[in-house]
């Protein structure tokens, strides 16, 4: 009975969590290790290079990146 209650609670919590949002960053790191895995979670080319440096791999632009189109904050006045 406890297992059933725990299972129902887990199911209810996962149903209420909502859909996961995909990462939307402009740079991807391709790693030579781990079977050629790829992570597209970098905001700059330099940040991506710092991650792959020393472990092998390369960086390239994310071809599925879509910039945020919301309102931009007003520039700060000097």
Mind listing the pLDDT tens digit for each residue in 14-43? 555 555 555 679 999 998 876 778 899 999
List the structure tokens of 66: 């879509």
Number of domains in the chain: 1
Torsional class of 9: left (φ above 0), alpha (ψ -120 to 50), beta (otherwise): alpha
- Is residue 58 a part of any domain in this protein? yes
Q: Which own/partner pairs from 6-9 qualify as long-range (CB within 8 Å, at least 24 positions apart)?
A: none
- What is the model's pTM? 0.56
> At residue 46, does pLDDT exceed 80?
yes
Note the pLDDT of residue 27: 95
- Is residue 36 a part of any domain in this protein? yes
Mean pLDDT value of segment 66-75:
78
Q: What is the DSSP letter of 63?
A: T
- Is residue 15 a part of any domain in this protein? no
The answer to whether residues 59 and 42 touch, using CB atoms and an 8 Å cutoff, is: yes
Rounded percentage of the chain residues whose pLDDT exceeds 70: 74
Task: Look up the domain containing 32 and give its range.
Answer: 22-67
């Amino acid at each position: 009975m406890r297992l059933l209650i725990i299972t129902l609670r887990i199911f209810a919590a996962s149903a209420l969590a909502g859909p996961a949002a995909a990462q939307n960053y402009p740079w991807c790191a391709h790693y030579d290790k781990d079977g050629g895995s790829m992570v597209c979670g970098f905001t700059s080319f330099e940040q991506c290079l710092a991650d792959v440096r020393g472990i092998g791999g390369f960086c390239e632009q994310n071809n599925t990146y879509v910039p945020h189109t919301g309102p931009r904050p007003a520039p700060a006045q000097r």
